[in-house]
Amino acid sequence: MGEIDLYDRLVDLAKRRGFFWPSYEIYGGVAGFYDWGPYGAVLKKNIIDKWRRTFILNHQDFVVELESPVIGPSIVYEASGHVENFTDPIVECLSCGRKFRADHIVEDKLGISTEGLTPEELTKLIREHDIRCPVCGGQLGEVKTFNLLFQTRIGPFEHSLGYVRPELAQGMFVAFKRVYEAMRNKLPLGIAQIGKVGRNEISPRQGLVRLREFTIMEMEFFIDPEEKRCPMLAEKAEVKINILTQEAKKKGEAPKQYSLGEAVEEGVIIHPCLAYWMGVAQEFMESLGVPRENMFFEDKLPEERAHYSSQTFDQLVKVSRWGWIEVAGHSYRGDYDLSRHIKYSGKDLRAHKRLKKPVKRKVRKILINKAAIGKRYRSEAPKVIQLIEKTGLEQVLARIKEEGNIQLEGYEITRDMLFEKEVEETINVKRFVPHVIEPSFGTDRITYVTLEYAVKEKDGRLILSLPWDIAPVKAAVLPLVERDDELRSKARKIFQILTREGIPAIYDDAGSIGRRYARADEIGIPFAVTVDYQTLEDDTLTIRDRDTWRQVRIPSQEVANIIRRAIEENIPPWE
């Protein structure tokens, strides 16, 4: 199928058959928002379920799920750095008033990368090259920064700012301590979440690939920073992935194949757990129908990375209209986020571990000389002791050392009332801020990519060859002849059996059987179950495979089992 029209044909099919379309169409649409229609919503849900199975359930010993709110108070996004850093450069046309991504305008015009340039530098480039408004040709103003957070207010007070989360991660960081404790203080601990985020893009124009609101599937994988191994990697060490290293990129070279084990040994991937999850991520995308050769991992340059990251790989997949697009990011976030939240909240969010060898150390302790206080204050001694404790022994002693005897609420405190002693302490537990590895997936892009890799042309018509396990509808039940009541009644019964068994199916008796097969193929239904005259004699059905158009006869009471086996165990009906 020609690459040029694939996108348009898929978009047409998607609208016609109910996969996706721009939201708010009746009001002219709003850029960056898409609806998932009946089949699209279920396809997306099936992809989410598969991710959940792959990343959470398969690792249920140490990965759990969390659901935190979409809207968050300002302080969270001040701590995370988003209020300060989550911006794009924007420029306004002084003639028509349109606003544009300043970096895109410069890149389009000059064909250079603008990564890391400041607004001032962008303005300078615009002036030097007399770059104009791409719509009306008018003069452009100064480049400013535009914050991409959707801002709102929480409650009735003007100053209570809130934001729509731009990523899921902060929900996991803010709740880390609760989850860590509920999961009984063990590391590694993966906290996964699937949910909506908002990014108020300046002028998104790439359909499902650049949305203002989308669903992320993400995990924050908390590790002990002293733990440099990743036992799980052993089973994937031989898995090959394509990596574009920073060096290769600077030299203009292509991605190179590494085994995950090699990539870790050679320091291309800075942590084995990061490598492990990249391997899982590749397998996940392969299971949706994207071949390995159409995928690579790009090590982002320091100036391309988010403010929190010390290594980030974008996972890229090739699509027809947009070339290479990012479907996931794999970041080593270090202790950036937890440390920021510790600082901003004043709460101790550290993890702890028992030391294998307890450490002994000498510490100076300040103690109260109760005898001295008793002698002087008699029955008031307990009150004075409490006063000293409330003020803090460290502080009281420091003041006495500086000022001589001091007064606390009218009581004189003298040097002899406190004494210092060196004691030996045994430390069994070490407290530390965990490091974090984060695989994060754009669900809507991935669903779109899955559709693009599924769409095939055969005899001039489109077939969605979606993998059986994620296809939104599993079976089309068809009476062979449209107007035969007996066939229809039998087919309805088969449809009802599938419904009762929880198998997503459609019943279709409108039009010639050929048209109905074609319709089912366009929706990506793996199996067409046809009731014909032989069915009425011997209670067998034909079951037709969407991709090979191969047909086999099966006993009608076997239909649910055969389809379930195909979906769950990938065993074809003819085996």
Considering only residues 14 to 73 of the shown chain, the ones binding a copy of itself according to CB under 8 A are 15-18, 21, 23-27, 30-42, 44-45, 53, 57-58, 60-61, 64-73
We find the least distance from the C-beta atom of residue 128 to a copy of itself, in angstroms, to be 25
Q: In angstroms, what CA-CA distances link 323 with 252, 278, 305, 455, 508?
A: 17, 21, 21, 17, 38
Distance CA 36, CA 450 (A): 14
- 499 is a site residue for a copy of itself (CB under 8 A): yes
Q: How many residues bind a copy of itself (CB under 8 A)?
A: 88
- 495 is a site residue for a copy of itself (CB under 8 A): yes
Site for a copy of itself in 390-419 (CB under 8 A): none
Q: Which stretch binds a copy of itself (CB under 8 A): 109-117, 196-204, 222-230, 535-543?
A: 196-204
Q: Which phi and psi angles does 420 have, rounded to 5°?
A: -110, 150
**Tally of CB atoms within 10 A around 184:** 7
Residue closer to a copy of itself (CB basis): 75 or 408: 75
We find the least distance from the C-beta atom of residue 155 to a copy of itself, in angstroms, to be 7
Half-sphere exposure (CA, 13 Å, Cβ side) for 57?
A: 7
We find the least distance from the C-beta atom of residue 175 to a copy of itself, in angstroms, to be 5
Half-sphere exposure (CA, 13 Å, Cβ side) for 324?
A: 12
Site for a copy of itself in 316-345 (CB under 8 A): 341, 344-345
Residue closer to a copy of itself (CB basis): 90 or 216: 90
Which of 129, 127, 130, 139 shows the shortest CA–CA distance to 100? 139
Distance CA 308, CA 168 (A): 14
Residue closer to a copy of itself (CB basis): 255 or 442: 442
Residue closer to a copy of itself (CB basis): 92 or 532: 92
Residue closer to a copy of itself (CB basis): 330 or 474: 474
Residue closer to a copy of itself (CB basis): 300 or 445: 445
We find the least distance from the C-beta atom of residue 335 to a copy of itself, in angstroms, to be 16
We find the least distance from the C-beta atom of residue 345 to a copy of itself, in angstroms, to be 4
Residue closer to a copy of itself (CB basis): 86 or 495: 495
Residue closer to a copy of itself (CB basis): 212 or 546: 212
Sign for the CA dihedral angle at 27, 33, 36, 40 comes to positive
Preceding peptide of 188 cis, ω within 30°? yes
- 555 is a site residue for a copy of itself (CB under 8 A): no
Distance CA 375, CA 367 (A): 17
Which structure tokens are listed for 278?
């990249």
Distance CA 517, CA 532 (A): 14
Q: Which stretch binds a copy of itself (CB under 8 A): 109-117, 153-161, 253-261, 279-287?
A: 153-161
- Furthest-apart CA atoms within the chain: distance in Å: 110
Residue closer to a copy of itself (CB basis): 1 or 154: 154
Cβ proximity of 389 and 455 under 8 Å: no
- 99 is a site residue for a copy of itself (CB under 8 A): yes
Distance CA 535, CA 490 (A): 9
- 182 is a site residue for a copy of itself (CB under 8 A): yes
Residue closer to a copy of itself (CB basis): 4 or 154: 154
Beta strands of 137-286 (E only): which ranges? Answer: 144-147, 151-153, 161-164, 189-198, 213-223, 240-244, 256-259
Distance CA 75, CA 160 (A): 10
- Chain-centre distance for alpha carbon 282: 15
We find the least distance from the C-beta atom of residue 33 to a copy of itself, in angstroms, to be 5
Site for a copy of itself in 160-179 (CB under 8 A): 162, 164, 171, 174-175, 177-179
From candidates 125, 223, 316, 505, binder to a copy of itself by CB under 8 A: 505
Q: Which phi and psi angles does 9 have, rounded to 5°?
A: -70, -35
Distance CA 426, CA 419 (A): 22
Q: What is the 3-state secondary structure (H, E, C) of 363-426?
A: EEEEEECHHHHHHHHHHHHHHHHHHHHHHCHHHHHHHHHHHCCEEECCEEECHHHEEEEEEEEE
We find the least distance from the C-beta atom of residue 28 to a copy of itself, in angstroms, to be 9
Give the x-and-dash track for 345-364 against a copy of itself (CB under 8 A): x-x-x---------------
Give the x-and-dash track for 453-492 against a copy of itself (CB under 8 A): ----------------------------------------
We find the least distance from the C-beta atom of residue 2 to a copy of itself, in angstroms, to be 26
Residue closer to a copy of itself (CB basis): 299 or 522: 522
